[in-house]
Amino acid sequence: MADATTNSYNSEDEASFGDFFALLKPRVMTLVVFTAIVGLLAAPVSVHPVIGFASILFIAIGAGASGALNMWWDADIDRVMRRTRKRPIPAGKVTEDDALYIGVALSGMSVIMLWLAANLLAAAMLAFTIFFYVVIYSMWLKRSTPQNIVIGGAAGAFPPVIGWIVATGSMAIEPWLMFALIFMWTPPHFWALALFMRSDYDDANVPMLTVTHGRPATRFQILVYTILLAALAIGTAFTSIGGPVYLVVAVVLNAMFAKGAISIWRRDEDMADADDYLVERKFFRLSLLYLFLHFGAILIEALLKPFGLGGW
Amino acid sequence: MSFRTEHEIHQRRKGRNIGLGLSLAGFVVLILSLTVVKVTRGDFALSVQSSTATQEGN
């Protein structure tokens, strides 16, 4: 009996610590951590390093928890899509129930700990972010409207606001500019991905813009959002979180981004097929650099301020 | 002859337990550090003063 049990058990399915960590979407967490740090350091109030470190860690854990809950809810479509097939649940490493329990436990822990480490407003904003990502985006918008990633993008845009609130304990206009930057950046970023992932979203019945409105319309929408984003990103240079360094970075990056969006708009599927979506892939990679360097420039401006530099 | 043959699955479980152990240890250190910082900064001074005032009132 014992032998039969041992033989039928597939040890390959036993999860490692890394599989549980993968549930937290570590790559998304790096973006959350970085933008939250920028929000925290750009605030006009200094934070004790230990409190700052703990707060960023709990924001990251909260983001990771929402990632685990997203994987629990989306396990059925993750099995279908090539991009997500190797995630811990579709790979058979972690059960859906385990992902749910880990997600709920870490959500509660991160929110309470952020409250204790920083303040109630920051904790409430983290709780709302988790709710927005899991319920509003994953459960409701993702499978019901092509505006899924437009509205759902807000979930990824909250971390710098939370970082700012950790430092100040209150709201201000500046963190919402950072929020707007990520919010406007999300659609062209994901639509470029949807273009070169081809049938992934069709197969999973996810109503991405490429599926509901077609690829030419998606290419046009990428251009529209890129132009709006450029106006916002360059305009931010003239606010209190901007400055000369940020302005130079924003002008150069938005020129490159706009050039990429125009190239995507001018192409059709035959041209994209011919070079295996080279332009779309380049645009997607540039979008990652775009966000990192914009927030890096905001961080530089903030770090220069104590030396009488930075800002206008 | 040993009946406790080391299987790959045991190594994976060991890695998982070590990972969890280190995470919990890190959490304990973090809580301790936060407590030290908050106490030394006087974050709880207000509640101490108010409880002293209450005692004096009695």
The full set of domain ranges for chain A reads: 19-171, 172-312
Given A11, A15, A50, which is nearest B33 (Cβ)? A50
Joined tokens for residue A111: 């929110």
Residue A56 scores a pLDDT above 80:
yes
Provide the pLDDT for residue A1.
40
Q: Residue A88: which pLDDT band, with cuts at 50, 70 and 90?
A: very high
> Phi and psi of A47, rounded to 5°?
-120, 140
Average pLDDT, integer, range A239-244: 94
Mark yes or no for CB contact B12/A20 under 8 Å: no
Residue A4 scores a pLDDT above 50:
no
Euclidean distance between CA atoms A74 and A187, whole angstroms: 20
Q: Which residue of B has its CA nearest to A110?
A: B27
Provide the pLDDT for residue A3.
45
Euclidean distance between CA atoms A258 and A226, whole angstroms: 6
Query: CB pairs below 8 Å between A and B: how many?
Result: 34
Residue B6 scores a pLDDT above 80:
no
Euclidean distance between CA atoms A152 and A28, whole angstroms: 14
- Other beta carbons within 10 angstroms of residue A119's beta carbon come to 18
Average pLDDT, integer, range A234-254: 96
Classify the complex by whether its ipTM is higher than 0.85, answering yes or no: no
Q: What is the pLDDT of residues A258-306, one digit of tens each?
A: 999 999 999 998 999 899 899 999 999 999 999 999 999 999 999 999 8
Residues 13-52 of chain B with CB under 8 A from chain A are 13, 15-16, 18-20, 30, 33-34, 37-38, 41
Residue A9 scores a pLDDT above 60:
no
- The whole-angstrom distance between B10's CA and the closest CA on chain A is 10
Given B16, B30, B38, which is nearest A16 (Cβ)? B16
The one-letter amino acid at A304: L
Give CA torsion, residues A21, A25, A29, A32, to 10 deg: -150
DSSP secondary structure letters along A143-210: TT-TTHHHHHHHHHHSHHHHHHHHHHSS--HHHHHHHHHHHHHHHHHHHHHHHHTTTHHHHTT---HH
Average pLDDT, integer, range A205-230: 93
Which of B30, B31, B39, B44 best probes binding to A when mutated, by most A CB atoms within 10 angstroms?
A: B30
Average pLDDT, integer, range A200-214: 86
Joined tokens for residue A308: 């009488």
Average pLDDT, integer, range A33-43: 97
DSSP secondary structure letters along chain A: -HHHHHHH--GGGS--HHHHHHTT-HHHHHHHHHHHHHHHHHSSS---HHHHHHHHHHHHHHHHHHHHHHHHHTHHHHHH-GGGTTSTTTTTSS-HHHHHHHHHHHHHHHHHHHHHHT-HHHHHHHHHHHHIIIIIIIIIITTT-TTHHHHHHHHHHSHHHHHHHHHHSS--HHHHHHHHHHHHHHHHHHHHHHHHTTTHHHHTT---HHHHT-HHHHHHHHHHHHHHHHHHHHHHTTSTT--HHHHHHHHHHHHHHHHHHHHHHH--HHHHHHTTSHHHHHHHHHHHHHHHHHHHHHHHHHHHGGGT-S--
Domain A19-171: CATH superfamily is UbiA prenyltransferase (1.10.357.140)
Residue B3 scores a pLDDT above 70:
no
